Amino acid sequence: MLELVVFSTLNGLQYGVLLFLLASGLTLIFSMMGVLNFAHASFYMLGAYLGYQITRTIGYWPGLLIAPLAVGLLGAGVERFCLRLVHRHGHVAELLFTFGLAFVIEEVVVVLWGRVPLDYRVPALLDFPAFTLWDTTYPAYKLFMLVISVAIFVALLLLLTRTRVGLIIQASLTHPNMVAMLGHNVPRIFMMVFGAGAALAGLAGAIAGPALVTQPSMAALLGPILFVVVVFGGLGSLAGAFIASLIIGLVQTFAIAVNVSLNDVFLPLGISLPAPAVLGDLWNATLAQLGPVIPYLLLVLMLVFRPTGLMGTRET
Amino acid sequence: MTQSIAGTTPRHRTISPLLASVGIWLAAGLVMLLLPQVFSSGASLTKLCLMGIMVIFALAYNMLLGQTGMLSFGHAVYYGLGGFFAAHAMMIISGEKLAVPLAAVPLVGALTGLVFGVIFGAASTRRAGTAFAMISLGIVELVAALALVMTGFFGGEQGVSFNRTKALALFGWKFGPQIQVYYLIAGWCFVSMIAMYFITRTPFGRMCLAVRENPERAAFVGYSTQGIRFIAFCLSGAFAGIAGALAAINFEIASNSMLGAQQSGTVLLMAYIGGAGHFAGPIVGAVLITLLQSSLSDITGAWQLYFGIMFILVVMFVPGGLAGLITLHGPIARAGLLPRLAVPYAKALVPGLLLVGGGALIIELTYKLTVERAKTTVLNLGLLQLDAKTALPWIAAVILLAAGAWTLRRLGPGIAEAVAATRAEALARVGA
Amino acid sequence: MIRMIARRTVFGVALAGLTALAMPVRAQDTIKIAYIDPLSGGGATVGEHGVHHFQFLVDKVNAAGGVLGGKKLELITYDNKSSPQETLLQAQKAIDSGAKFITQGNGSNVALALTDFVAKHNERNPDKQVLFLNYAAVDPALTNAKCNYWHFRWDADADIKMQALTSFMKTRPEIKKVYVIGQDYSFGQAVRVSARSMLKEKRPDIEFVGDELHPVLKVTDFSPYIAKIKASGADSVITGNWAQDLALLLKAAADAGLQANWYTYYAGGAGGPTSVRQTGLEHRVFQISEWHSNVEGAEMQNLNADFRKKYSGSGWWYLRAKNEMDMLVKAIEQAKSVDAAKVAAALEDMRFKDAIGAEVWMRKDDHQLFQDLYISSFGPGVAVDEEGTGWGWKTVAKVDAKDTITKTVCKMDRPS
């Protein structure tokens, strides 16, 4: 039992911090520009595919550096040349643009790399078990993912709270007009934040590619969960995004480990549901089966009852 | 974009608006009646049925997006649930041998859409804008995930299939042959279209526009914007439910993919590409995209890419959609000035074709080289055989693209100016 | 204004319709076989490899002169995205474009929808009947409660395979604790039920320590499931997973260093061998199939070698696809027609000597093919390896076709 708890915690944390790498950029972009970037998970996918391509030609480690930079550049370009153009048509148009962009990126990936998952392997340097507990091994690569993600969180936090750039970004989150009046180039800040967010997503992709599956649907699989994290954590709050990432990561992992259903819980209390009711499946489903439902339930409940999210200061 | 739905008939017309309106609807009905006579092959009939369904769905969706200004990423919930409840209704009808004709089954879908619209709408329409969009996204993912757990009702990965011929046969119509199903769909499509059109003409329809354009003012006038949003949402859900029920009848199955995010995305694409600001926009979008989906996918494997690019271009450059483009030319045509645009458009046509051709060629060559490498790398263009492994086609494609882009960039402003000038003159002449 | 738009819309629709709907129907000069399987998403690897199989077979038939005195076969492929509804849409498209035969395999959920669709279609369109040739969907229902005249299955059903697998497990005394993990749909559920009941009967001493169904083709990291298996103390795992769901399951097991024996249906699929090799589970992963690369028989050996040359090393998987195509050609020749009812009549009860020289039999009662089955394990010391791992499949047990015959509850309506 302890073994299951320890490894589920590790798996959950690792998934959670990966989510955070993506959510951090998304929440910054969202709160700053009011754009819910549907293509954010697509940048993550591009990171994985570019990482794969560079791994094939140069090596894994250069890929880990180049892929996020390239994706970041692309993100900045998207903001500068497309999103800014669409901006005058309003938020809905911007939202739709990123929605279309996600669609196009997925299809470009299909055209370039095919529909079949890629054989993106963990680099040989990290392909060993990091440690063994109760004779279960934990792969070094996953530990590496964990460490990198936490390092980035710390770096991001320091950047935003301790540097001048960070202060300007924080200021333009809440008072873009004032920041512009002080002589700062707000559109440029937007572009940089969008690019940096994309780069972070690209990095997440490059490190997640070998561990999860590099395939054209990877963006669509992760995208909705990201929105859950961002809304759940609260807009514009990095700390909120971090906590929400961990919660979602842990909840999803632990749910799988639990074989308890509502029926199991209520039966000892003497409450039971007549078997063939339409809701019977729900009643008898184990938490493991309900796992995929939980994040969205949290999302809807949060939006309806506490629109500011966990740590947010303003409404969605 | 703003005034178009409310659009008024120019004063100098002699035919009464009512008569003209009736005429249009009669013509539309006649076209729908005769279409299968013209396109009678099995493949065409399949497409026509899909079009009818998607027209209803897209129009229903546009009651939110276009008319009330609510962006939903999860409207397939009502479409899908309508389909599932209709499927179960059909099974009960055939199981209990109830005297209910198949033509009445879409009512089950409508009721389902309405009920779930009330349930989910009560929670989500309290908010507008991005928050509403997010809630809709959460609900669609939630329902899709729940549907997979509640296998008893939703049939899990398999869906719920039934036999549509087991309902009460009226006038000997058992709805086995596709043509009969077409007329069922066409009938419902016609009725729904008229109903949704007349909703836009009611005071409620006008209030929806007000809520879209300026919610604050609408509230000051004394209307509850939340209430308007809620009613629009429920009505839209009901029509989506009809579309879903018809889809279930058409395929004789209701499956999980009907209520997912992807289906929701498709209807958004249809409404927006067609033109969310016009009543007829979603019709154009639904017809066009259904056609593209089935026809383009036979021609090229990369069809979804073209699709996405088209969507992005519309969002960036033609926010009014295709219907917006058409109405732009409305006054010009009425003033009889269309011929004047022939020259500028012809000028744009050549570089435009070069651009599209070059771009498409690059996509197709890449596709041959990657996805279809194992099959053949030769792109067959009828008279021309291009091998993607050689350099020449690539160079040609890039030249085409560059030439097209460069020319269009040079000519573009001039053409836009000519169109604007002509339109201004036309407006002045017609006096609208 | 609105009327203007409406008028123009009608006009535009008519115009667009004219061009797109009136596309000329191509001359019916080939015999079209429609392949409908996932070519995108989690099942794509397997679906695409299936295309290679059938294209290879079709090319072979055509190279040998085609059928009915020179008519060529043509394979047309459709992506069903693993969705039943999409499958029906694609099937309709295939029929509309003149396909006479539809072949599908990945996903019993899809197959159940398709067999239903084909039966209804044939009843309503007696002039356009088609056959459903099932090469891999193994839910027993397809040849039992849900059987129909137009469906033929070349793969042994899940129960037959489980019977063989559990009989083999009976001889392995080291099995004490078993974990069943599968995909949450009709086939995964069938595997789960039959594994439990059959093992209980044959080895009552075996303890079931876990029983899990997970979402189909959606999980990208199986570590949480593996942690659960690990915690249960299972020494053996039974799984019917296929495509990505199997490769990733084995990959996660490799990462966690899970030392268990695996009893599988499809470990030979894409990515499976690589993951097994990575874990170092030498001859501890078992697979039940009608053929593998090291089954003797020169014809299949040569075919496998040619296939690998053409498709950069990926091996041949499906003897059943070869059987399907060979028997179809034979049936068409016998019926002297591609008419679905006539070809079906020729296929029914057909006894056929297949490419490894064994006799296979298409039972008339339920259209289920009976064939020899091989249980093989994966490890070093074999002639032909998989995915460049140096390891390959080695037969550990063979079940003769006659021992696989099961009862069926199928009651088929035959066209008179």
In order of B26, B92, B191, the CA distances from B188 in angstroms are 15, 22, 5
pLDDT at B170: 76
Assess whether pLDDT exceeds 70 at residue A274: no
Assess whether pLDDT exceeds 70 at residue A313: no
Residue C92: list chain B partners with CB under 8 A.
42, 46
Closest residue by Cα to residue B321 from B260, B378, B367, B280: B280
A52 or A303, which is more confident:
A52
Radius of gyration of chain B (CA): 24
- Tell whether the torsion through CA atoms of C370, C375, C378 and C381 is positive or negative: negative
Helix (H) or strand (E) holding C101: strand C101-104
Average pLDDT, chain A: 82
Tell me which chain C residue has its CA closest to the CA of residue B286. C13
B412 or C207, which is more confident:
C207
What ranges make up the beta strands (E) of C186-266?
207-214, 236-239, 261-264
User: What does the buried/exposed string (b/e) look like for A126-146 if buried means 16 or more CB atoms within 10 Å of the residue's CB?
Assistant: beeeeeeeeebbbbbbbbbbb
Give the count of alpha carbons within 13 A of C88, CB side only. Answer: 28
Distance between CA atoms of residues B184 and C237, nearest Å: 51
- Tell whether the torsion through CA atoms of C344, C345, C349 and C354 is positive or negative: negative
Residue A299, chain B, CB below 8 Å: the answer is yes
Q: Contact B48/C16 with Cβ under 8 angstroms?
A: no
Residue C235, chain A, CB below 8 Å: the answer is no
Please report the number of interchain residue pairs, chain B to chain C, with beta-carbon separation below 8 angstroms: 150
Burial class of residue B252, CB neighbours in 10 A (0-12, 13-18, 19+):
buried
* Range A2-305 has CATH code 1.10.3470: yes
The identity of residue A181, as a single letter, is: M
Q: What whole-number percentage of chain A has pLDDT above 70?
A: 93
Residue C23: list chain B partners with CB under 8 A.
295
Interface list for C 313-352 with B (CB within 8 A)? none
Mean pLDDT of B322-351: 79
- Determine which of A35-49, B123-137, B226-240 has the lowest per-residue pLDDT on average: B123-137
Q: Contact C280/C255 with Cβ under 8 angstroms?
A: no
The residues facing C232 across adjacent strands are none
pLDDT at C357: 86
Q: Contact B189/B287 with Cβ under 8 angstroms?
A: no
Assess whether pLDDT exceeds 70 at residue B76: yes
- Alpha-carbon gap: C257 to the closest alpha carbon of chain A (Å): 6
The identity of residue A157, as a single letter, is: L
Structural domains of chain C in order of their starting residue, each with its CATH number: 24-156+296-371 (3.40.50.2300), 158-289+372-403 (3.40.50.2300)
- Determine which of B13-17, B128-132, C332-336 has the lowest per-residue pLDDT on average: B13-17
The residues facing C214 across adjacent strands are C183
pLDDT at B52: 94
In order of A33, A83, A102, B41, B319, the CA distances from A97 in angstroms are 14, 7, 9, 38, 11
Distance between CA atoms of residues B165 and C358, nearest Å: 44
Angle between helices A40-57 and A186-208 (to 10 degrees): 60
Pairing of strands C373-379, C285-289: antiparallel
Closest residue by Cα to residue C321 from C278, C367, C354, C368: C354
Tell me which chain C residue has its CA closest to the CA of residue B42. C96
pLDDT at B118: 94
- Alpha-carbon gap: A289 to the closest alpha carbon of chain C (Å): 7
Assess whether pLDDT exceeds 90 at residue B19: no
- Alpha-carbon gap: A86 to the closest alpha carbon of chain C (Å): 26
Q: Contact C201/C169 with Cβ under 8 angstroms?
A: no
Closest residue by Cα to residue C289 from C315, C310, C328: C315
- Alpha-carbon gap: C255 to the closest alpha carbon of chain A (Å): 6
Burial class of residue A6, CB neighbours in 10 A (0-12, 13-18, 19+):
middle
Residue C258 token pair: 């899970």
**Which tens digit of pLDDT belongs to each residue from C342-377?**
999 999 989 998 888 888 999 998 999 999 999 999
pLDDT at B6: 43
The residues facing C361 across adjacent strands are C351, C370
ipTM, 2 decimals?
0.85
**Which tens digit of pLDDT belongs to each residue from B53-63?**
999 999 999 99
DSSP character string of C348-369: TT-EEE-TTS-EEEE-TTT-BE
Distance between CA atoms of residues C47 and A107, nearest Å: 19
- Tell whether the torsion through CA atoms of B77, B83, B85 and B87 is positive or negative: negative
Residue C223 token pair: 């570590």
The answer to whether C8 contacts B8, with C-beta atoms less than 8 Å apart, is no
DSSP character string of B265-296: HHHHHHHHHH-TTSTTHHHHHHHHHHHHHHHH
Distance between CA atoms of residues C411 and C79, nearest Å: 32
Residue C314: list chain B partners with CB under 8 A.
none
Q: Contact C311/C52 with Cβ under 8 angstroms?
A: yes
Strand order, beta sheet including C369-370: C351-353, C359-362, C369-370
Assess whether pLDDT exceeds 90 at residue B97: no
pLDDT at B15: 61
Q: Contact C245/C215 with Cβ under 8 angstroms?
A: no
pLDDT at C27: 44
Distance between CA atoms of residues A248 and A133, nearest Å: 25
In order of A12, A142, A244, C401, the CA distances from A248 in angstroms are 8, 18, 6, 50
Q: Contact C260/C253 with Cβ under 8 angstroms?
A: yes
Q: How far is CA B143 from the centre of its chain?
A: 23
Residue B259 token pair: 């209520």
Residue A299: list chain B partners with CB under 8 A.
134, 138, 141-142
Q: Contact B291/B322 with Cβ under 8 angstroms?
A: no
DSSP character string of B355-366: HHHHHHHHHHHH
Assess whether pLDDT exceeds 90 at residue B44: no
The answer to whether C5 contacts B278, with C-beta atoms less than 8 Å apart, is yes
Pairing of strands B160-161, B253-254: antiparallel
pLDDT at B403: 86
Assess whether pLDDT exceeds 90 at residue B422: no
Residue C88 token pair: 């029906």
Local structure of C29: helix, strand or coil: coil
- Alpha-carbon gap: A113 to the closest alpha carbon of chain B (Å): 6
Local structure of C177: helix, strand or coil: strand
Distance between CA atoms of residues A264 and A285, nearest Å: 10
Closest residue by Cα to residue B235 from B198, B190, B274: B198
Q: Contact A42/A198 with Cβ under 8 angstroms?
A: no
Helix (H) or strand (E) holding A130: strand A129-133
Local structure of C88: helix, strand or coil: helix
Name the stretches of chain C with pLDDT < 70: 1-28
The answer to whether A281 contacts B370, with C-beta atoms less than 8 Å apart, is no
Residue A287 token pair: 């938490």
Structural domains of chain B in order of their starting residue, each with its CATH number: 19-314 (1.10.3470), 331-430 (no CATH)
Kindly give, in sequence order, each residue whose CB lies less than 8 Å from that of residue C244, ignoring residues fewer than 6 positions away. A117, A213, C42, C43, C45, C217, C271
